[in-house]
């Protein structure tokens, strides 16, 4: 086995602590810290954590656990533990932390070794196994945007975010070098730490929104891509805190600024390493396989919006007109559509899926896109007509959910989703999304006060 960091050489590498981690349903890493010398003892059986890590919402509320509506974790089954079994091939230095390594893990039930079905990492691995059985190797890449502010993060949280936000850029600066230079020391250190952690970045830039930035990851295996994505978000957060800065991956944190996206690029190779999306004789060199993959993704987009747009805030972005994807549309080199065909060579031809926001869980989003594309290929689905011109000039797609509660209903009633992840997991995600909606509906916001306080 090729190691990013050899588990037998941790002491020599100056590693004293290992974080064993896996993604929760929000895409955050959960797990435990252990002394480096303990790693060999847990490689086979893992280290246990409570299943509540996959049962609570973003605020770690026990509402659903107490209600007993989740099969995996409730007070009726005692909120049992699962074991995080390290995927030792992912062990790497967390170079932004002194003397710390991090290893991704998969949760399994103690005693049986059966995987925890609701785990996003387990779901993605199962989908990749389906592709291998077809003789295909997917290649993916993610582009992740975020906002960076000069405010101290603890002060912002303690003020309930009522403190004025101070963006790190003050004017639209998309691709502008000068504005980016002011924060080059921060990003240079971040890039160096990521490189030393085996997280290969492709490029970075300042973005159009004030205080908005983007970094892209080197193209590759979807599981490795999701791991890099999750670790990158952790590194950005940790690095920002260390520098006294605040970062947010909300889909749309500011009313007067564009949202932050997570564009997903997908291509497909056969066992010989050749692109199955490329046809030298077809229009735009797009094979029937590529067309069917796009068709499958677009067909199932409404059902998977709970994964692509998982928060209340997500829909502030998807229902703006700021090239955040628009319904079930596709075209060649057109940023107004949801699936954009890019690349001019066999190696580069792919499609870019533009609907997911920066708040998405990369394991779930990659799993949803891959499953949808596979279904389209298996059924030889034909895509709709390509969009010509600005997609926003077309009719609104009535099949697309407009808010999270509606998305939860579409997810739960999708036959494809239920076949893919099972009834229990489908119900689990529906309950989680509906809880988020209920909490939102029962909360008086600053918007309510500003709009109605002295006018009604």
3-state class (DSSP) for residue 267: strand
Residue 82 lies in a domain: yes
Same domain, 52 and 131: no
Tell which residue, 229, 179, 178, 237, has the closest CA to residue 201: 229
Residue 1 lies in a domain: no
Same domain, 97 and 173: no
More confident residue, 282 or 325: 282
Residue 304 lies in a domain: yes
State what percent of residues in the chain have pLDDT above 70.
Answer: 99
Same domain, 111 and 212: no
- In the predicted structure, residue 354 carries a pLDDT above the cut 60: yes
- Residue 2 pLDDT class (50, 70, 90 cuts): low
| Residues in contact with 167: Cβ distance below 8 Å, sequence separation at least 6, in sequence order | 147, 148, 149, 150, 210, 211, 212
- In the predicted structure, residue 273 carries a pLDDT above the cut 70: yes
Task: Confirm if 23 and 121 have CB atoms less than 8 A apart.
Answer: yes
For range 236-250, the mean pLDDT: 97
- In the predicted structure, residue 186 carries a pLDDT above the cut 60: yes
- Neighbour tally for 7: CB within 10 Å: 19
Among 65, 81, 116, where does a domain finish?
Answer: 116
What pLDDT score does 453 carry?
85
Same domain, 284 and 367: yes
Overall domain count for the chain: 2
- Residue 170 pLDDT class (50, 70, 90 cuts): confident
Q: Over the Cα atoms of the chain, what is R_g?
A: 22
For range 133-158, the mean pLDDT: 95
Residue 56: give the domain boundaries: 7-116
| Residue 181, burial from CB neighbour count under 10 angstroms (0-12, 13-18, 19+) | exposed
Report the CATH number that the domain containing residue 81 is assigned in CATH: 3.10.20.70
Length of the chain counted residue by residue: 456
- In the predicted structure, residue 3 carries a pLDDT above the cut 70: no
pTM assigned to the model: 0.96
Same domain, 217 and 96: no
For range 157-175, the mean pLDDT: 86
Same domain, 134 and 106: no
Residue 331 lies in a domain: yes
d(CA 39, CA 17): 9
What pLDDT score does 179 carry?
82
Same domain, 357 and 326: yes
Among 74, 92, 116, where does a domain finish?
Answer: 116
What pLDDT score does 56 carry?
95
Among 87, 116, 145, where does a domain finish?
Answer: 116
d(CA 98, CA 209): 33
Same domain, 135 and 90: no
Angle at 157 (CA atoms; ends 156, 159), nearest 5 degrees: 65
State what percent of residues in the chain have pLDDT above 90.
Answer: 85
d(CA 418, CA 430): 11
Report the CATH number that the domain containing residue 203 is assigned in CATH: 3.30.590.10
What pLDDT score does 163 carry?
79
For range 209-235, the mean pLDDT: 94
Same domain, 339 and 414: yes
d(CA 187, CA 180): 9
Per-residue pLDDT tens digits for 87-115: 999 999 999 999 999 999 999 999 899 99
- In the predicted structure, residue 443 carries a pLDDT above the cut 80: yes
DSSP-H helix ranges across 301-421: 305-308, 314-318, 362-378, 404-412, 415-421
What pLDDT score does 1 carry?
52
Per-residue pLDDT tens digits for 294-317: 999 999 999 999 999 999 999 999
Per-residue pLDDT tens digits for 383-426: 999 999 999 898 889 899 999 999 999 999 999 999 999 999 99
Residue 122 lies in a domain: no
Residue 352 lies in a domain: yes
What pLDDT score does 176 carry?
84
What pLDDT score does 48 carry?
97
Task: Confirm if 167 and 245 have CB atoms less than 8 A apart.
Answer: no
pLDDT averaged over every residue in the chain: 94
Same domain, 430 and 333: yes
- In the predicted structure, residue 277 carries a pLDDT above the cut 60: yes
Same domain, 80 and 171: no
Same domain, 62 and 182: no
Per-residue pLDDT tens digits for 41-66: 999 899 999 999 999 999 999 999 99
- Residue located via tokens 């252990």: 34
For range 320-343, the mean pLDDT: 91
What is the pairing mode between strands 350-353 and 339-342? antiparallel
Structure tokens at 243: 């520098």
């Amino acid at each position: 086995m090729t190691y990013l960091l050899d588990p037998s050489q941790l002491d020599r590498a100056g590693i004293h602590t290992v974080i064993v981690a896996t993604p929760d349903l929000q895409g955050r890493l959960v797990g435990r810290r252990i002394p480096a010398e303990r790693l060999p003892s847990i490689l086979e059986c893992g280290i246990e954590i409570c299943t509540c890590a996959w049962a609570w919402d973003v605020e770690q509320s026990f509402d659903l656990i107490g209600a007993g509506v989740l099969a995996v974790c409730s007070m009726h089954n005692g909120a049992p533990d699962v074991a995080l079994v390290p995927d030792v091939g992912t062990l790497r230095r967390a170079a932004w932390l002194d003397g710390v390594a991090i290893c991704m893990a998969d949760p399994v039930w103690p005693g049986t070794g059966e995987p925890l079905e609701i785990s996003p990492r387990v779901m993605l691995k199962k989908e990749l196994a389906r592709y291998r059985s077809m003789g295909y190797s997917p290649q993916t890449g993610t582009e992740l945007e975020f906002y960076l502010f000069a405010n101290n993060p603890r002060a912002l949280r303690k003020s309930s975010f009522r403190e004025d936000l101070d963006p790190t850029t003050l004017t639209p600066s998309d691709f502008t070098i000068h504005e980016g230079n002011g924060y080059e020391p921060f990003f240079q250190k971040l890039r160096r730490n990521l490189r030393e952690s085996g997280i290969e970045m492709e490029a970075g830039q300042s973005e159009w929104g004030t205080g908005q930035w983007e970094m892209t990851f080197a193209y590759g295996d979807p599981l490795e891509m999701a791991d890099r994505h999750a670790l990158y978000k952790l590194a950005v957060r940790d690095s920002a805190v260390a520098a006294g800065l605040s970062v947010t991956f909300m889909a749309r944190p500011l009313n007067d600024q564009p949202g932050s996206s997570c564009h997903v690029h997908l291509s497909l190779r056969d066992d010989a390493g050749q692109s199955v999306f490329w046809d030298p004789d077809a229009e735009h060199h797009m094979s029937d396989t590529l067309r069917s993959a796009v068709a499958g993704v677009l067909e199932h987009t409404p059902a998977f919006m709970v994964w692509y747009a998982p928060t209340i805030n997500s829909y502030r972005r998807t229902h703006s007109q700021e090239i955040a994807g628009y319904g079930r549309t596709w075209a060649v080199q057109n940023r107004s559509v949801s699936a954009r065909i890019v690349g001019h060579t066999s190696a580069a031809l792919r499609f870019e899926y533009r609907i997911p926001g920066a708040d998405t869980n990369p394991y779930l989003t990659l799993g949803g896109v891959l499953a949808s594309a596979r279904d389209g290929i298996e059924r030889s689905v034909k895509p709709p007509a390509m969009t010509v011109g600005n997609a926003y000039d077309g009719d609104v797609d009535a099949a697309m959910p407009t808010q999270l509660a509606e998305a939860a209903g579409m997810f739960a009633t999708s036959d494809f989703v239920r076949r893919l992840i099972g009834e229990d997991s489908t119900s689990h995600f529906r309950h989680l999304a509906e809880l988020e909606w209920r909490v939102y509906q029962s909360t008086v916001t600053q918007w309510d006060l500003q709009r109605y306080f002295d006018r009604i």
